[in-house]
Structure 1
Amino acid sequence: MMRGAVTAVLAVLAIQCSQGALAAEPQFKLRASVDTSATHGRTLSAADYLKKLQEKSGGRITTELFHSGQLFRDRDVVKALRQGAVEMAIPGTWVLTGFVPDADVFQLPAFFGQPYPVVYAAADGKIGEIINKQFESKLDVKLLGPWLQLGYQNTYSTNKPIRDFADQAGMKIRNSGGAGQSARAKFFNATPNVTAWPDVPLALSQGTFDGLSSTDESLASAKLWESGVKYGFADREFVGFYVPMISESFYKKLPPDLQKLVVDLWQENIEAYRKSMEEAQTEARHTLEKNGIVFVSPSESALAEVRAKMLPLQDGIAKELRISPALLQQVQADVTTVGH
């Protein structure tokens, strides 16, 4: 009986100790929302980050990824972060401009045709810093670190080949909206058209517009050669970015070591994620070429020449985009002298 009593006491102590350990190591649930498909580069990057976060935290942070808009579309995810309906998101800058107009900065002429290193330097430097401070203060979020690029926005056409910038004259070219894209189309004497992406294949096949502004990966995933796209003009109009963020209230609940981990882990992996996104766009271009789309790539000097001609329009475009004077000044100091 004595031995049984001792065993029972030890069992109770063991349970109490384990409960104490659990109390000392609370678990945090992190749900992440993206509206891209399971195979999209952003989704794959998010999945890799979440897997590593759960492992590196020793399971103290458990993670779950919802892709394809299963929880929220990007346009709704900021509100969801604020309300605690999700803990992490990586929305595109284009859905954040309503909150922070400066997020549209890469639509400025200074970035037209610029190579990735120049664009990354801006996003990771003082320009990105100005925008990130606004994201954190206005959206009640914690930025995890450098942004993840979607890729270059290029021009594509159906029946009329675009071999030079002048070939866009008289064309009706679809874009996703915004003063920067409209101004760019008009600069080349084209007529801007705004059509929602889900409606693009049908509109193309019906001849609603002659061409469109998009990315290689977007065209490949939608198989737009089946809708009549025959030509690609790799003019590198601008680079779209995704912004990694977590809810400020969730971040504040984490102990200091886990706060450090969520930030450090993203920063340790962003270079690999960016490389993967670049490779995805390259592979997408190969797919488009295999399906008959013929590409022309302007030279660096041709891109620089067009950029120089666009720059006098920059102040007016910045005003339409509601870019803050401080950010515009930073762009003029950091970027407009590069690449000429």
Structure 2
Amino acid sequence: MQGLSSARLHMAVTFALFFFLATSAIAASQEGPRYLFRISTENTVGHVQTQAIERFARQLEESSLGRIEVRFHHSAQMFRDRDVIAALSSGKVEMAVPGMWQLDRYVPDVGLYMLPLFYGRTAEENYRLRDGKVGAIVSQRVETYLGVKVPGRWLDLGHAHLYFTDRQVSRHEDLNGLKIRIPGGVANQARLEAFGASPDVVPWPDVPNALQRDHLKGMLTTHETVRSAALWNNGIRFCFEDMEYFAQYVPIINSRFWHKLPTDLQQLVIDTWEAVVDDQRIAADIAQREARAELQAGGVSVIAPKPSELQKWRQIARQQEASTIRQMGVDPALVKMAEEAMGR
């Protein structure tokens, strides 16, 4: 009995000590500095990008034991992506995850991935470059040019295609003279102009209304983006599935905020971000496949050009690529590295 009582006493003391240390650690974290971490995104709550960032935000706040207070604002509640870089620089928001097409006017080398060289390329071909040496250089230049921290790999949206309200485009020649909405990007404009189309920049939040008012008849976006906003209800009836480029979102954090964080919280942000990337990319691929089926169920006709046609028109668009590279200011050395990795 005495041995049993001694064991119980030891267990009680051990538990009390553990409880004291745990509560002391939590109390210490709560008493220490707390960091407000506001995240702004443009996409709606049902979008695959929004859902991934929400998981990141929730996990980061939990893992930091409240040391980081995360406020996540989606659906352009704080800023549209076209305006968020300025907001980030002025400290009005701590993190944003804009589409890469929003960044090439600030960081020309981001436009590399939208050059005709990448037209019709698979996701795997894009990953080989973007998650490797070339991708590391581009992310480093984003940090340098914008004064931000890129905490890790980029999130996927998926391949962008062309969508129309009143005509079926079944071959590239049908694009001649068509006015097509683009989200931005010099390369998007140059590529479509090479196909004979007339690109026009329209911010995403304005698209549904523009479709309804018949101000838009064609647009560059993705299956998932069309699905998430049910744009077939706004007039989208046709899709030319030509893999214009592989769209991703770039995580960027205000550098002043980043350098205020102690080292352990910086590492926590990096680790928490990395933990969502692979699952998000899988989810994005699934979402695009499911969205394609849902588009068709909603009455959208989808026509996909043959790989040989994509290669043919890639070479046509590349005839003007040197001029686009000079206009954008993309580093020719990076283009050469990409060509060596992917082939012409």
TM-score (norm 2): 0.83
Instruction: Name the structure 1 match of 2:298.
Output: 291
Written as runs of structure 1 = structure 2, the 5 A alignment for 1:272-311 is: 272-311=279-318
Q: 1:150 aligns with which of 150, 157, 179?
A: 157
Instruction: Name the structure 1 match of 2:116.
Output: 109
Range with greater deviation from structure 2 (29-38 or 74-83)? 74-83
Range with greater deviation from structure 2 (285-294 or 210-219)? 210-219
Q: 2:264 aligns with which of 257, 261, 265?
A: 257
CA RMSD of aligned residues (A): 2.7
Q: How far apart, CA to CA, are the structure 1 residues paired with 2:34 and 2:225?
A: 38
Q: Deviations over 1:305-328 (max 9, x none)?
A: 322333332212212222122322
Q: C-alpha displacement at 1:128, in angstroms?
A: 1.9
Q: C-alpha displacement at 1:234, in angstroms?
A: 0.7
Q: How far apart, CA to CA, are the structure 1 residues paired with 2:231 and 2:37?
A: 36
- Going from structure 1 to structure 2, the CA distance change for 1:224 and 1:243 (only over 3 Å counts) comes to same
1:133 aligns with 2:105: no
Q: Is the 8 A contact 2:134 2:334 kept in 1?
A: yes
1:89 aligns with 2:96: yes
Q: Is the 8 A contact 1:142 1:248 kept in 2?
A: yes
Written as runs of structure 1 = structure 2, the 5 A alignment for 1:1-340 is: 21-22=28-29, 25-201=32-208, 203-204=210-211, 208=215, 210-337=217-344
Q: Is the 8 A contact 2:26 2:65 kept in 1?
A: no
Q: How far apart, CA to CA, are the structure 1 residues paired with 2:332 and 2:93?
A: 34
Number of matched residues?
A: 322
- Going from structure 1 to structure 2, the CA distance change for 1:197 and 1:262 (only over 3 Å counts) comes to closer
Q: Is the 8 A contact 2:41 2:50 kept in 1?
A: yes
Q: Which amino acid aligns with 1:104?
A: G
Q: How far apart, CA to CA, are the structure 2 residues paired with 1:292 and 1:20?
A: 57
Q: How far apart, CA to CA, are the structure 2 residues paired with 1:316 and 1:212?
A: 24
> Percent identity of the aligned residues?
36
Q: C-alpha displacement at 1:299, in angstroms?
A: 2.8
Q: C-alpha displacement at 1:294, in angstroms?
A: 1.0
Q: C-alpha displacement at 1:146, in angstroms?
A: 0.5
Secondary structure of 1:160 counterpart: coil
Q: Is the 8 A contact 1:193 1:209 kept in 2?
A: no
Q: C-alpha displacement at 1:113, in angstroms?
A: 0.6
Q: How far apart, CA to CA, are the structure 1 residues paired with 2:129 and 2:38?
A: 30
Secondary structure of 1:91 counterpart: coil
Q: C-alpha displacement at 1:334, in angstroms?
A: 2.3
Q: How far apart, CA to CA, are the structure 2 residues paired with 1:191 and 1:77?
A: 27
* Unaligned 5+ runs, structure 1: 1-16
Q: C-alpha displacement at 1:176, in angstroms?
A: 3.0
Instruction: Name the structure 1 match of 2:11.
Output: none
Secondary structure of 1:329 counterpart: helix
Range with greater deviation from structure 2 (38-47 or 18-27)? 18-27
Q: How far apart, CA to CA, are the structure 1 residues paired with 2:30 and 2:217?
A: 63
* Unaligned 5+ runs, structure 2: 1-23
Q: Which amino acid aligns with 1:152?
A: H
Q: How far apart, CA to CA, are the structure 2 residues paired with 1:217 and 1:37?
A: 11
Q: How far apart, CA to CA, are the structure 2 residues paired with 1:310 and 1:65?
A: 40
- Going from structure 1 to structure 2, the CA distance change for 1:286 and 1:60 (only over 3 Å counts) comes to same
Q: Deviations over 1:181-214 (max 9, x none)?
A: 2332233333334444455445546655543222
Q: Is the 8 A contact 1:232 1:293 kept in 2?
A: yes
Q: C-alpha displacement at 1:123, in angstroms?
A: 1.8
Q: Is the 8 A contact 2:117 2:314 kept in 1?
A: yes
